[in-house]
Amino acid sequence: MNPDPLDFLLADLDRALAEEGRNAKVTRLLAEYAQSGAVDWKRFAFFEANYYSRNLVRRSELYELIVLCWGQGQRSPIHDHAAQRCWMGVLEGRVRETIYRVGESAPPTAGPAREFAAGGVAFIVDDMGWHRIEPVGDGPAVTLHLYSRPIRECRVLDEASGAILNKRMSYHSVGGKVLTGTR
């Protein structure tokens, strides 16, 4: 069986993330994959009607790679990344990333918003702020998220109360198989 483009990406990520300080190389690898027209990611793309879905491709001690599927009107909460690095490559559709300043004693402040089309790549760490991701336009969107190191729990802003809560991360599918009882 011939390897898929995603197999090559995973092998390249294994090497790049084993070397510290390789942010630019990882950004380039994700951009090359997102711009390649590869469709092998679709076997991990499962949508949910009521919320965006997190579909695990691979998890190691160095990173986790996740396909996120966004229906119209779905969006992430405003969240941090548990002091880890986060890259997002857009595989299909368009998404908006809005950066927020979140303090313990002040209300959140929306900062810049950027839109990314298929092939675009964003990078964020907590020092840059928290963020929210949402699809824009008339259709759904699919994004490829790389967290280095894996994130088991993050902080989210409860917009109704203003409280900052810890949220345990979960997956809708793992390795292309939908889990039951998720969320």
Tens of pLDDT, residues 119-135: 999 999 999 999 999 99
Query: Nearest to residue 22, comparing CAs of 57, 79, 65, 62?
Result: 62
Neighbouring CB atoms inside 10 A of 4's CB total: 14
Amino acid type, 14: D
Tens of pLDDT, residues 6-25: 999 999 999 999 886 678 99
State residue 21's pLDDT score.
63
Q: Where are the beta strands (DSSP E) in 7-63?
A: 53-59
State residue 1's pLDDT score.
62
Phi, psi of 165 (to 5 degrees): -120, 150
List the beta bridge partners of residue 156: 79, 165
Residues 6+ apart with CB under 8 A from 89: 30, 31, 33, 34, 119, 120, 121, 143, 144, 146
Q: Quickly tell me which residue has 């070397």 as its tokens.
A: 19
Tens of pLDDT, residues 91-107: 999 999 999 987 777 77
Neighbouring CB atoms inside 10 A of 10's CB total: 18
Tens of pLDDT, residues 129-176: 999 999 999 899 999 999 999 999 999 988 888 888 999 999 999 999
Question: Which structural domains are found in the chain, ordered by start?
Answer: 5-178 (2.60.120.10)
